[in-house]
């Protein structure tokens, strides 16, 4: 599970995240909903120990992201949107192996896991080809296999479908669903409501570095009497606009 306690990040003069408290239960999928620049990526980067929080901390499966960053990284897998970030001159297998080894996997276990992933993601045909010539969908599958190869209990997704075509986006959404079925704890950031409604148990709306509302989709609908999209616009739109 993930417990975020007073997490804050200041870049020079800009306070990107202004003290967030949030917890995600084991096996839960939390949707982090917010506009561009709301603080979603900064929050996820802090959870992934890429950025050091200015204040506060978070525990991931009981491990502190500030004090125990190395241990935290073994617990998590990340899939960040936009470009896929593969090494074009390496084969699909080499790309995946690199991350498996950096996550301290034993060779045998790694090979077994890669065979398994190649099979379920239907990558068998091109595992030993260099990824430079792959289509976007093929690359997306390699990126997915790479982030999950060490079978982390916690997954962080930052706008994983942004910039993808429909087919590639479906591959990613299917993957998130299978993570959910495997019982992983997931934080998933997005600015598209439909995606959040499709995949998440609970949603937290982030605006200008603060969580303005959090709860499960159903109870939010009941509480405000409108669907999530309208609620989102209301919460981040008029009411909070200065």
Positions touching other proteins (CB under 8 A) are 11-12, 45, 48-52, 70, 73-74, 76, 78, 80, 82-90, 94, 98-99, 101-104, 130, 143, 146-147, 150
Given a contact cutoff of 8 angstroms between Cβ atoms, the answer to whether 156 and 44 are in contact is yes
Residue 121 burial (CB < 10 Å; 0-12/13-18/19+)?
A: buried
- Cα–Cα distances in Å, from 87 out to 140, 144, 173? 13, 14, 23
- Residue 47 or 169 having the CB closest to other proteins: 47
Pairing of strands 29-33, 202-207: parallel
- Residue 36 or 70 having the CB closest to other proteins: 70
- Residue 32 or 235 having the CB closest to other proteins: 32
- Residue 51 or 59 having the CB closest to other proteins: 51
- Residue 50 or 217 having the CB closest to other proteins: 50
CA geometry: angle at 162 spanning 122 and 186, to 5°? Answer: 70
Query: Least Å distance between CB 137 and other proteins?
Result: 17
Contacts of 122 (CB under 8 A, 6+ apart): 141
- Residue 27 or 130 having the CB closest to other proteins: 130
Query: Least Å distance between CB 27 and other proteins?
Result: 21
Q: Token pair of 24, please?
A: 């995600």
CB atoms within 10 A of CB 39: 25
Given a contact cutoff of 8 angstroms between Cβ atoms, the answer to whether 159 and 206 are in contact is no
3-state DSSP call for residue 165?
Answer: coil
Query: Least Å distance between CB 118 and other proteins?
Result: 19
Query: Least Å distance between CB 19 and other proteins?
Result: 19
- Residue 15 or 94 having the CB closest to other proteins: 94
Query: Least Å distance between CB 103 and other proteins?
Result: 4
Q: What is the CA radius of gyration of the chain?
A: 18
Query: Least Å distance between CB 9 and other proteins?
Result: 9
Query: Least Å distance between CB 43 and other proteins?
Result: 14
Q: What angle do the packed helices 166-181 and 136-148 form, to 10 degrees? A: 20
């Amino acid at each position: 599970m993930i417990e975020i306690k007073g997490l804050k990040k200041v870049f020079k003069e800009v306070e990107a995240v202004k003290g967030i408290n949030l917890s995600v239960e084991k096996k839960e999928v939390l949707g982090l909903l917010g506009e561009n620049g709301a603080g979603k990526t900064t929050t996820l980067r802090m959870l992934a120990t890429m950025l050091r929080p200015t204040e506060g901390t978070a525990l991931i499966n009981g491990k502190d992201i500030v004090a125990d960053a190395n241990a935290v990284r073994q617990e998590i897998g990340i899939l960040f949107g936009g470009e896929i970030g593969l090494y074009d001159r390496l084969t699909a297998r080499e790309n995946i192996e690199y991350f498996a080894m950096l996550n301290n996997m034993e060779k045998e276990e790694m090979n077994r896991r890669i065979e398994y992933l190649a099979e379920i993601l239907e990558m068998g045909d091109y595992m030993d080809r260099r990824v430079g010539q792959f289509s976007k969908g093929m690359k997306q599958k390699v990126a997915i296999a790479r982030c999950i190869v060490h079978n982390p209990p916690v997954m962080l997704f930052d706008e994983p479908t942004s910039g993808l075509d429909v087919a590639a986006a479906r591959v990613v959404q299917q993957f998130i669903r299978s993570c959910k079925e495997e019982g992983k704890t997931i934080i998933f950031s997005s600015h598209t409501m439909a995606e959040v409604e499709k995949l998440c148990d609970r949603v937290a709306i982030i605006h200008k570095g603060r969580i303005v509302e959090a709860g499960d989709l159903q109870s939010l609908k009941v509480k405000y009497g409108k669907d999530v999209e309208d609620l989102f616009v209301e919460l981040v739109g008029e009411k909070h606009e200065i």
